[in-house]
Amino acid sequence: MTRIPRIRLRKPYLILLGDEHDPINAKTGFGIVHWRRADVAGQLRAPGAAVDLGVPDLGIDAAADDGVGSLVVGVAPVGGAVPAAWWDVMVDAARAGLDIVAGLHTKLNDNPALVEVAGAHDVRLVDVRVPPRNLPVGTGKKRTGRRLLTVGTDCAIGKKYTALGIDSAFADAGIDSTFRATGQTGILIAGEGMPIDAVVADFIAGAAEVLSPDNEPGHWDVIEGQGSLFHPAYSGVSLGLLHGSQPDAFVVCHDATRECLSDWEHFALPSITECIALHERVARRTNPAACCVGIAVNTSTLPVRKRSAYLEALAAEHGVPAVDPLIDGCSDIVAYVRKTFG
Amino acid sequence: MTRIPRIRLRKPYLILLGDEHDPINAKTGFGIVHWRRADVAGQLRAPGAAVDLGVPDLGIDAAADDGVGSLVVGVAPVGGAVPAAWWDVMVDAARAGLDIVAGLHTKLNDNPALVEVAGAHDVRLVDVRVPPRNLPVGTGKKRTGRRLLTVGTDCAIGKKYTALGIDSAFADAGIDSTFRATGQTGILIAGEGMPIDAVVADFIAGAAEVLSPDNEPGHWDVIEGQGSLFHPAYSGVSLGLLHGSQPDAFVVCHDATRECLSDWEHFALPSITECIALHERVARRTNPAACCVGIAVNTSTLPVRKRSAYLEALAAEHGVPAVDPLIDGCSDIVAYVRKTFG
């Protein structure tokens, strides 16, 4: 049987940000710092770069002297290609004895110069976004245990944060659960997972089935969503993941003030109502009982005084808890899940 | 810019069927025989095999003597893996001087024994299901020209036949059109196309955009659908293809008596009403004017006397032409398209 890929990284990490100005593109860096702060020694930024993870700036030589284990590429640009200028930085880091870790579509191990230097200096090139071989096609067969999937009105809108937050809240409530990572950042945080967007198209649902296997009846897999059913580039990934995950419950992730898809500005964000309705409709193909159990909203761009009223109105309209997972945590959602599923 | 992959095959073909008993799994063989009969010299079957393409049975030595150019694998099993016993047949054929052609997920060029024999006998190993490198992610931007996509209530339900039939009917009506292949059989028939189900998940919609580029305002791309939005294994492919194709029009393919998904018997076929409604709803994300322009049904399992009434009732219920493309052709659908789009 195909297993969930596991990774082992040398800690602590130096996060490579290059000249990235858009925090949304630096979500890998932010995610690792937020959920694994103790593992991060610092960040490596080009002069004048705007993105700041709030950790010490550190050069490669200083990092090597400090015993840093890995240089982790902290940026996920559109399409996944590594900017040409960064290869030099990675070669320098490998020469200084650091492992190089990335989760981009362009593979570290496909760069001959980097492979040569890594070999000469006995460091590892770890491509996180490599799916296992011999994935099965989806069966659609019902599995034991419970599953919750985070979905969204857009990409980069909090699906990973929300899943990690719900997994923590399950632990706080004494409910057995596992965070199931589907993207590079989630995999770096969890140490295992399925890079679902790197899987060959025919095997998306099958890969999702491998990621959340049969489990104890009371156990919850909390699955990190990817993309959006409403996204013109990534909707296929989202639907395959939804059908393969066969979630009992899903949580809609949203941004309080975002009006258009990030980087696809000619597409309006769908409404939360539309998002819940479409997910219920298609999710029920593989799990007839699938239902929405919460709304997780990034409210950081709202005036503070409007936050509570906004979330209360959402909760009242949709009949499920509405929270900002970074501010409120996810215990309200877990309480609702408990009430609904016993 | 990424181009649509073209292939050049040595004709005529010997179709390899092995011991396949299920005609649905032999759809590659049937498709090539139906649409390119003049290119097929014969079929190679294991003793006792039930599938018969209606062409002469031919052994490898006889085929080589007759000047056959290529052995084409004519079977598409679930998951795409080549049955182990067939490799020997392919090695024999390569030794006899035939090119080997396949469109399976398992690559001919990944089989060392076959690669060695092919090199020694100067024959080609042609893997049809290899997507181009450097595919872009989808942009969702509106393209010029018109597009029609065939969709379905299941896999293997006539989407390719219907697309080829509509393309022919466009030609008969003097309307400029191009058949756009998305699967191995379609690519073998057309000589070019995009193996959409072999693309990495993040690039499905982008690959679909590459497949049907900007065109003349009156030109129709007739795009071969893949899978089904209702399929537990392949829905991701279908949604990515739908969003990337941004069709103006779609045709629902169906089987008059099939009750469950082929090979996924625990899933009922959706109704045509449900199928039209879901496709309209999601297709309008990238083309707000997308609409259903016809229903194409395989009626071969209906009693002949019930055929007409069945199709007339469907047409009346849904307000679009309903045809069996193999019996009626697709001129009614093209006439409806003409009326609707001018």
List all residues of chain A from 231 to 290 with a beta carbon under 8 Å from chain B. Answer: 232-241, 243-244, 264, 266-267, 278, 281-282, 285-286
**Residue B130 sits at the chain A interface (C-beta within 8 Å):** no
- Find the closest chain A residue to B282 by CA distance: A230
What's the rounded Cα separation, in Å, for the pair B254 and A29?
Answer: 48
Check CB contact of A137 with chain B, cutoff 8 Å. Answer: yes
Confidence of residue B77 (pLDDT cuts 50, 70, 90): low
Higher local confidence (pLDDT), A27 or B171:
B171
First to last CA, chain B: 32
Alpha-carbon distance values, A145 to A218, A242, A247, A340 (Å): 6, 16, 10, 15
> Which residues touch B85 (CB under 8 Å, ≥6 apart)?
B18, B19
Q: Is the pLDDT of residue A103 over 90?
A: no
How many angstroms separate the CA atoms of B91 and B111, rounded? 10
Q: Chain-wide mean pLDDT for chain B? A: 94
| Inter-chain residue contact A138 with B233, CB threshold 8 Å | yes
A289-313 pLDDT, tens digit each: 999 999 999 999 999 999 999 999 9
**B76 pLDDT above the threshold of 90:** no
What gap in Å lies between CA B253 and CA B261, rounded to an integer? 13
Query: What average pLDDT does the segment B145-166 reach?
Result: 97
Mean pLDDT of A184-197: 92
pLDDT tens across B12-66, in order?
999 999 888 888 889 899 999 999 999 999 999 988 767 999 999 999 999 999 9
**Residue A71: pLDDT above 80?**
yes
Q: In the predicted model, is pLDDT for residue A2 greater than 90?
A: no
According to DSSP, the residues that pair with A294 across neighbouring strands are: A251
Alpha-helix residue ranges (DSSP H) falling in chain A: 27-35, 60-65, 86-95, 112-120, 159-172, 184-190, 204-211, 235-245, 272-283, 304-318, 325-328, 331-341
Q: Which CATH superfamily is domain A13-127 in?
A: NAD(P)-binding Rossmann-like Domain (3.40.50.720)
B233·A196 Cβ contact <8 A: no
pLDDT of B287-328, one tens digit each?
999 999 999 999 999 999 999 999 999 999 999 999 999 999
- A199 contacts B200? CB cut-off 8 A: yes
pLDDT at position A320 is 98
Tell which wins on pLDDT, A140 or A83: A140
Handedness of CA B68, B70, B76, B77 (dihedral sign): positive
- From B177, B130, B183, select the one nearest B159 (Cα to Cα): B183
Nearest C-alpha in A relative to B287 = A232
Q: Which residue of A has its CA nearest to B241?
A: A236
For A34, phi and psi rounded to 5 degrees?
Answer: -65, -45
Under 8 Å between Cβ of A211 and A197 = no
Distance in angstroms (rounded) separating the CA atoms of residues A303 and A314: 16
Residue from B184, B197, B235 to probe the interface with A (highest A Cβ count within 10 Å): B235
What distance in Å separates the CA atoms of residue B277 and residue B72, rounded to the nearest whole number? 38
Q: pTM of the full predicted structure?
A: 0.91
A90 within 8 A of A108, measured Cβ to Cβ? yes
Residues sharing a CB contact under 8 Å with residue B130, sequence separation 6 or more, in sequence order? B5, B107, B195, B198
The answer to whether the beta carbons of residues A57 and A45 sit under 8 Å apart is yes
- Tell me whether the CATH fold assigned to B13-127 matches the one assigned to B146-341: yes
Q: Closest chain B residue to A77 measured between Cα atoms?
A: B137
In angstroms, the CA B257 to CA A294 distance is 41
Bridge-partner residues for A57, per DSSP? A43
The predicted pLDDT at position B105 comes to 75
Query: CB neighbours (10 Å) of residue A296?
Result: 27
What confidence category does residue B78 fall into, taking pLDDT thresholds of 50, 70 and 90?
Answer: low
CA B20-B328-B326 angle, to 5 degrees, is: 10
Domain coordinates of chain B in residue numbers?
Answer: 13-127, 146-341
Torsion sign over Cα B142, B148, B149, B152: positive
Rounded distance between C-alpha atoms, residue B169 and residue B163, angstroms: 10
Architecture of domain A146-341: 3-Layer(aba) Sandwich (3.40)
Average pLDDT over residues B83-89: 85
* Among B284, B24, B244, B241, residue whose Cα is nearest residue B154: B24
Inspect the interface and report whether the beta carbons of B232 and A205 lie closer than 8 Å.
yes
Cα B200 to Cα B190: distance, rounded to the nearest angstrom: 23
Which pLDDT score is estimated for B48? 79
Percent of chain B with pLDDT over 70: 98
Closest by Cα among B58, B65, B29 to B188 = B29
Mean pLDDT of chain A: 94
Predicted pLDDT of residue A242: 98
A29, A23 Cβ separation under 8 angstroms: no
pLDDT value, residue B49:
67
Confidence at B342, pLDDT banded by 50, 70, 90: confident
- Between CA A253 and CA B15 the distance in angstroms is 51
- The b/e string for A212-225 (b: 16+ C-beta within 10 A; e otherwise) is beebeeebbbbbbb
List, for residues B188-233, the tens digit of each pLDDT value: 999 889 999 999 999 999 999 999 999 999 999 999 999 999 999 9
Report, as an integer, the average pLDDT of B114-131: 95
Say whether pLDDT at B106 is over 90.
Answer: no
Give the chain B residue whose CA is nearest to the CA of A131. Answer: B200
Could you tell me how far CA A100 lies from the centroid of its own chain?
20
DSSP code of residue B200: B
Question: Is the CB of B140 less than 8 angstroms away from the CB of A79?
Answer: no
- Four-residue CA torsion sign, B171, B177, B178, B179: negative
Cα radius of gyration rounded to whole Å, chain B: 20
Which uninterrupted H or E stretch holds B185? helix B184-190
Residues of A in contact with B199 (CB under 8 A): 200-201
Distance CA B205, CA B43 (A): 36
Model pLDDT for residues A112-163, shown as the tens digit of each residue: 999 999 999 999 999 998 998 889 999 999 999 999 999 999 998 999 999 9
- Contact at 8 Å (CB) between A159 and A253? yes
